[in-house]
Chain A
Amino acid sequence: MHDIREDPLPAAPPAQQARGRCIVVTSGKGGVGKTTTTANVGVALAATGARVVLIDADVGLRNLDIVLGLEARVRHHVLDVLEGNAELDDALVSDKRVPSLKLLAASQTREKDDVDTNAFRALVDRLREKFDYVLIDCPAGIEKGFQNAIVGADEAIIVCTPEVSAVRDADRVVGLLGERVKITLIVNRLRPALVRRGKMLSVDDVNAILRLPLLGVIADEPGVIVATNKGEPIALDASSPTGEAYRKIAGRIVGTDTSTPEIPREATFFDKLFGGQR
């Protein structure tokens, strides 16, 4: 569970104890579902009993708290901590449903350039001593916000939708992450019926380009939107196949699930008739 590999950064102090794993969720392109992925993978990881902290690195466009349904509990944000205006423990928001999950929210009124890269790296290092997993929700783009988000990570999850633009940007991000970071792929918003009719790129089409270990495939289905509306991550929904897909992703990250990611099946007529979430 603990990743005890050596930190490649020369300035880092020698790790005495097992440090948590730091995984950045990134994509290059915006709007492909990074935040939803971070929330659901984080919740699913925490549900296994692991201590998980989610950092919203999208400073200026704070959203992770909304997807998690924790927006009313945020008192301090990441820049408060980085600039010494709040204690780290006070800024970590607890999740009522999964006690081992904490959130460090982004600042809505500040900008990405306000984040000091070294301070952010130090914060991640601090959190890795307290948590098994530090998940970072990376902002879109490849500018400073991206550079900050990846600085402390030694693993990355690329979120990519089956679109030309998303694959192109994901390819660029893979190049920028370089050899240091271990990269895996989640193909998000797949519509199996469209793939079958030749109207959407398949998982194989996407990964023929990116050539990354596949962590999971998430269907484009109404349940995700409904869950986000309510602020209840679908990974907590025991009856949802998409929730199950997120739980399996968590299992693959932890190492307890060695199954090959399955392609979501098409919704049947009866699914549409009776499976309607509100």
Chain B
Amino acid sequence: MLEFLKRLFNPEPSSVTARERLRLVLLSDHLALAPDVVESLKADLIAVISKYVDVDAAHCDVTFEQQESVVAMLANIPILGMKPPARTPRPAAPEPPPMIDPSPASAAVAVEPEAAVEAPAPAASKPRRRRRRRAGVNAAPAH
């Protein structure tokens, strides 16, 4: 409702919408056309996460998805277990770690819009207002 009123009294020029759509679609296109970049991002991501937990590197999946107002990176990284505490005198991986979960799917980490990848330059303009609007749009179908 608030969203509706806001649009009624302060309609966004359609060229702004066009600019935003163009930015998102090109971001998606460029990611799709740069598989090597995505691969190296995925490798770095796994390396960082592996510092804290054991991950199932063979079954990691990093994809990009164009959503309503962001391009989101979706990372599905199955976690096998905790890394043993760094200062324990015991050698690494003595037994199957106690935290292991029989269904790796539930241990998946999904990085959603919070980790949205934004284009460097154009996103800099008024990000705050846009974020709030996005939240409003998402809330709308619930009513």
Contact = CB atoms under 8 A, between A and B. Distances in A.
Contacts of A168: 22, 25-26, 29
A202 interface: yes
- For chain B, what secondary structure do more than half of its interface residues adopt (helix, strand, loop), or is it mixed? helix
B88 interface: no
B19 A171 contact: no
Interface size class, chain A: 10 to 19
A195 interface: yes
Contacts, number: 38
- For chain A, what secondary structure do more than half of its interface residues adopt (helix, strand, loop), or is it mixed? helix
A163 B55 CA distance: 44
B103 to A, nearest CB: 41
Interface residues of B, number: 13
Interface in A139-181: 163-164, 167-168, 171-172, 175
B113 interface: no
A190 to B, nearest CB: 12
Contact of A164 (B13, B25, B33): B25
B24 to A, nearest CB: 10
Nearest to A205: B19
Given A164-B21, A208-B122, A195 B15 contact: yes
B43 to A, nearest CB: 24
A209 B15 contact: no
A201 B25 contact: no
Contacts of B22: 164, 167-168, 201, 205, 209
Contacts of B26: 167-168, 171, 209
Given A168-B22, A205-B19, A198 B29 contact: no
Given A172-B29, A200-B15, A209-B22, 4 more contacts: A164-B18, A199-B15, A201-B22, A209-B26
Top 7 nearest A-B pairs (CB, nearest first) are A198-B13, A164-B22, A198-B15, A164-B18, A164-B21, A201-B18, A199-B14
Interface of B: 13-16, 18-19, 21-22, 25-26, 29, 33, 122
21 contacts: A163-B18, A164-B18, A164-B22, A164-B25, A167-B22, A168-B26, A168-B29, A195-B15, A197-B13, A198-B13, A198-B14, A199-B13, A199-B14, A200-B15, A200-B18, A201-B19, A201-B22, A205-B18, A205-B19, A208-B122, A209-B22
